[in-house]
Amino acid sequence: TILEMILGFLKLHQKWSYEDKDERPLNGFKDQLCSLVFMALTDPSTQLQLVGIRTFAVLGAQPDLLSSGDLELAVGHLYRLSFLEEDSQSWVAALEASGALAALYPIAFSSHLVPKLAEELHKGELDLSRRDEPTKQSRHLRCLQALSAISTHPNIVKETLPLLLQHLCRMNKGTMVAETSEVIAVCQSLQQVAEKCQQDPESCWYFHQTAVPCLLALAVQASMPEKEHSVLRKVLLEDEVLAAMVSVIGTATTHLSPDLAAQSVAHIVPLFLDGNISFLPENSFPCRFQPFQDGSSGQRRLVALLMAFVCSLPRNVEIPQLNQLMRELVELSCCPSCPFSSTAAAKCFAGLLNKLPAGQQVDEFLQLAVDKVEAGLGPGPCRSQAFTLLLWVTKALVLRYHPLSSCLTDRLTGLLSDPELGPAAADGFSLLMSDCTDVLTRAGHAEVRLMFRQRFFTDNVPALVQGFHAASQ
C-alpha cells in the first residue's frame, strides 16, 4: 500500500540528521502524514491498522515533529485499539507502540492515557465484584497489560505502579471476588513494570521501595488469623500466587546497587527473623509475624518471599544475622508439615550458600546442611524433605565448582537404589543441570561457572554408567 511505502521512506529518513529544524523535510508534510495515519488507524482492515500503528511510532520518533494535539489524537486511537478491537494483532501492536511513545512523550501519556486506564481499572473492579460476563473481565486484564506496557518512563511509573498496588489492596479489603488468575495477572503486570524499571537506577529503587513492602504487608496480613472475611487473604497464600509474587520481588531486587540493597536487607531479614514490621505499610496485625519460631503454616509459606529477595541480592551485600538465618532455614527445610515451605527454605539456603566466598563460614554452613541431611535420610517422616535439601545444596555447589560437590553428588547417586527416593533421585539429576528461574540464576548474581554441565558429566557419567550395568534386572 501507499502507507507501507511511506513507512519505508520514514525508516530511511530516520538515518539522516538535520541540525537546523527548518531543514527537516518532514515538517512541511506533518499534517498530511498524520491525517493519513489516523485514517489507517480507524480503518476496519487489520493490515492497515498495523501499518498505521508502525508508521505513527516512526513519526513519533522524529524530534520536535508532532504537536500536543497530534499526540492527544494518537493516544485516543491507541486506547481504542487496545480495548475496543477484537483483533489480537492490532491490540499487541498498539501496546508496543504505546510503550515506545510513552518513553518519548511521558506528559502526553500521563495526561491523556493514564486517567483513562485508571477509570477502566475501576470499572473492572466493579465488574469483578459482580462477576460480570467474560468480555468485561477480558477488558480488565487488558487494562492491567496496558498499564504495564506504558511504564517506560520514570514519571509514568510513579503513576502506574500506585494504581496497580492500590488495585491489589482493594482486592484485599474484600470489595472484589478475587480469584487466583486475577491476582496472578496483577503480579504479572507488576513484574513487567519491574523489568522496565531495571534500565533506570532511580526507577528501580522507586519500584523496589514502593512495591516490595506493599506485597510483603499484604502477604503477612494474609498469614494472620482472620478477623474479617477476605477471599484474597486465602488466595495470596496459594502456591501459584506466591510464585508470581516471588517473580515480582526477585525482578525488583536483581538490579539494585549494593548500597540500596543493603538498606533494604536491613529491614526485610529482621522482618522474618525478629518479626520487625515497622517498615511495612499498614502494619497493625493481630499477632506477631514469626515464620521460623512456631509460626503458622501460612506464615511459614512466606519464606518463599524471603528467598526471592535474599537470593536476588548482589554477592557483595552483607546479610544481617546470617548465622541465625541459615540455621533457621536448615531447620525449616526438613519440616514435614508443609512441603512448600520446606522446599522454599532449602532453595533459600542453597541460594545463599552459593554466593558466600570460600572459607570457614561456608564450610560450617555446609557441614550444618550435611548433618541435617544425614539425620533426615534415616527412617522417619522427613526423608523427602532431607532429600530436597540435599538436592538444592548439591546444585549450589556444582554451579560454583566447590570441591565437596562430588561428595554430595556421590550421595545422590547412592540414593538411586533407594526404594522410596530412587525415582526422585533420578529426576534430581535433571534439576542439577537445568536453569532455574527463581534462585541460583546468573541474573540473581549466583556464582555459575562456565561449562559446569560439561564438568559435571565428565566427573559423574562413568559412575552412572557403571551403576547402570551393575544394577540387577
> How far apart (Å, rounded) are the C-alpha atoms in residues 293 and 15?
63
Please report, to the nearest 10 degrees, the dihedral formed by the alpha carbons of residues 272, 275, 279, 284 taken in order. 130
Name the pTM for this structure. 0.92
Sign of the four-CA dihedral 283, 286, 291, 293: positive
- Mind listing the pLDDT tens digit for each residue in 216-269? 999 999 998 875 555 566 889 999 999 999 999 999 999 999 999 999 999 999
pLDDT of 172 higher than 90: no
pLDDT of 470 higher than 90: no
Task: Of 97-101, 119-123, 349-353, give the lowest mean pLDDT range.
Answer: 119-123
Q: What is the average pLDDT across 454-466?
A: 76
Q: What is the average pLDDT across 88-96?
A: 89
pLDDT, residue 82, reads: 85
pLDDT, residue 30, reads: 84
- Percent of the chain that is helix, strand, coil (3-state, to 5): 70, 0, 30
pLDDT, residue 18, reads: 56
Average pLDDT over the chain, rounded to an integer: 89
Higher pLDDT, 140 or 150: 150
pLDDT, residue 131, reads: 59
Give Cα separations from 282 to 122, 209, 300 (angstroms). Answer: 22, 15, 21
Give Cα separations from 167 to 140, 174, 190, 413 (angstroms). Answer: 11, 11, 11, 49
In the structure, what pLDDT confidence band is assigned to residue 139 with cuts at 50, 70 and 90? confident
| For the chain, percent of residues with pLDDT exceeding 90 | 67
CB atoms within 10 A of CB 246: 26
In the structure, what pLDDT confidence band is assigned to residue 452 with cuts at 50, 70 and 90? confident
**Residue 56: which of 25, 10, 114, 12 has the closest Cα?**
10
> How far apart (Å, rounded) are the C-alpha atoms in residues 79 and 89?
14
In the structure, what pLDDT confidence band is assigned to residue 171 with cuts at 50, 70 and 90? confident
Strands (E), 167-285: none
pLDDT, residue 84, reads: 65
DSSP codes of every residue in 89-100 = HHHHHHHHHHHH
In the structure, what pLDDT confidence band is assigned to residue 473 with cuts at 50, 70 and 90? very low
> How far apart (Å, rounded) are the C-alpha atoms in residues 109 and 370?
56
| For the chain, percent of residues with pLDDT exceeding 70 | 89
- Mind listing the pLDDT tens digit for each residue in 280-308? 997 788 888 999 986 688 999 999 999 99
pLDDT of 421 higher than 70: yes
pLDDT, residue 229, reads: 52
Domain boundaries, the chain: 1-9+29-126+136-151, 179-224+236-320, 322-472
CB 425 within 8 A of CB 415: yes
In the structure, what pLDDT confidence band is assigned to residue 472 with cuts at 50, 70 and 90? low
pLDDT, residue 455, reads: 84
pLDDT of 22 higher than 80: no
pLDDT, residue 175, reads: 56
Phi and psi at 257, nearest 5°, equal: -70, 155
> How far apart (Å, rounded) are the C-alpha atoms in residues 13 and 16?
5
In the structure, what pLDDT confidence band is assigned to residue 20 with cuts at 50, 70 and 90? low
Q: Buried b vs exposed e over 17-35: b needs ≥16 C-beta within 10 Å?
A: eeeeeeebeeeeebeebbe
Higher pLDDT, 198 or 224: 198
Q: What is the average pLDDT across 20-34?
A: 74
pLDDT of 378 higher than 80: yes
